[in-house]
Structure 1
Amino acid sequence: MPADRFSTATRLKALGEQAAARVQRAGRRPRRNRLTGRAALLALVLCSLVVALAYPTRQYLSQRSDIADQRRKAQDAAAALERLRDEKARWQDPAYVRQQARRHLHYVMPGETGYIVQDGSGVRAAPKGAQAAQRPWYDKLWDTVDTADAAGAASAAGKR
């Protein structure tokens, strides 16, 4: 009797059963490589395209934004120019110049009497801020002259 206890036929039968079991398991759940070589190459090409086109696309979008900003600034400048042309045309009219002189400089025509209505508080100097801007120009002028005179008198007294 040989050292081998099983015959060749028995061994072939066992190998066949094992192979049949493997085929049966493979039939239930096919085992394929999910990422094929072609799919990997396609993914690599797509990633390369995305990386290669990202910077130029960003530059393009940035430039389009800059162009839109410049167009908006040009439209604003054109509107400002139109307003200034209208204002220049108004200043060419002598009646408008007289109206502005009366309003802002408190000018009166010969033969007219000018009046400044005060609020009745008896306070001559207006407080600092927004109300100070509403005072007549000549009142502001005299206040600066008085301030300069007071400063000059104080420095002259200090030298004596």
Structure 2
Amino acid sequence: MPERGRQPRRRQDTTSGQRRGSDRARRTARPAGSEQESPPRPARTRRTADRARTGGAFGLSATRQAAVLAMVVCALALSIAVPLRTYLTQHAQVEQELAQQAQLQAQAEQLEQRKQQLSDPAQIQAEARSRLGMVMPGETPYTVQLPGDGQLADQHGSPQQQAANQPWFGQLWNSITGSGS
């Protein structure tokens, strides 16, 4: 590296001027048979020509262009995939909520109809008589039992009810043998 204030030395060669002149003469004067042949190009020019031939955009080869294109496509796919998945999930949730809302509205309509039915005092009285077995004051309730009704009740009763209907010694014997419950 030259020091400050000093300029690098120039070669002083008397033959270099002559060489330059002879190079110029060679470039301008061509032999008659060499018009079709071009002189060999310097290495730098050859590289740029190779790049222009093999690489299109940005001087990349076809393989590298394909790799860059694949990376760009993957990046776009990934940047679109997450919001798309979120959208589809939320869309499914909205559909589910709408179905649940429709079901609740149908249930509310049924309850409104039931409310209107129970607003009639005659309907309330009929429900109380059938479901609860209630009677009006001054009425005498009668229960009609058919011969087969008592046996069906015993068969379908719970084991505790059946055990409670047995006499005490039967309950004691069943508890000793373990066949009661």
TM (normalized to structure 1)? 0.51
Aligned residue for 1:36, secondary structure, equals helix
Inter-partner Cα distance in structure 2 for 1:49 and 1:118: 81
Partner of 1:56: 83
Partner of 2:122: 95
Q: Which has the higher contact order (CA 8 A, sep 6+)?
A: 1
Inter-partner Cα distance in structure 2 for 1:117 and 1:50: 78
- Give 1:35 deviation, angstroms: 5.2
Aligned residue for 2:67, secondary structure, equals helix
Moved more, 84-93 or 108-117: 108-117
Q: What RMSD in Å do the two structures reach over aligned CA positions?
A: 3.0
TM (normalized to structure 2)? 0.46
Inter-partner Cα distance in structure 2 for 1:119 and 1:54: 73
Structure 2 portions without partners, runs of 5+: 1-60, 165-181
Inter-partner Cα distance in structure 2 for 1:100 and 1:74: 31
Amino acid at match of 2:130: R
- Give 1:113 deviation, angstroms: 4.4
- Give 1:54 deviation, angstroms: 1.4
Inter-partner Cα distance in structure 2 for 1:120 and 1:50: 79
Partner of 1:105: 132
Aligned length: 98
Asked if residue 75 in structure 1 is aligned to residue 106 in structure 2, the reply is: no
- Give 1:120 deviation, angstroms: 2.7
Inter-partner Cα distance in structure 2 for 1:100 and 1:83: 18
Inter-partner Cα distance in structure 2 for 1:117 and 1:41: 92
- Give 1:104 deviation, angstroms: 1.0
Measured against aligned partners, the alpha-carbon deviations of 1:30-70 in whole angstroms (never above 9, x if no partner) come to xxxx9522222211111111111111111111000111111
Q: How does 1:134-149 map onto structure 2 within 5 Å? A: none
Asked if residue 85 in structure 1 is aligned to residue 112 in structure 2, the reply is: yes
- Give 1:94 deviation, angstroms: 1.2
Structure 1 portions without partners, runs of 5+: 1-33, 133-142, 144-160
- Give 1:117 deviation, angstroms: 2.8
% identity of equivalent residues: 35
Runs of 4+ in 1 over 4 A off after TM superposition: 109-113, 121-126
Asked if residue 40 in structure 1 is aligned to residue 67 in structure 2, the reply is: yes
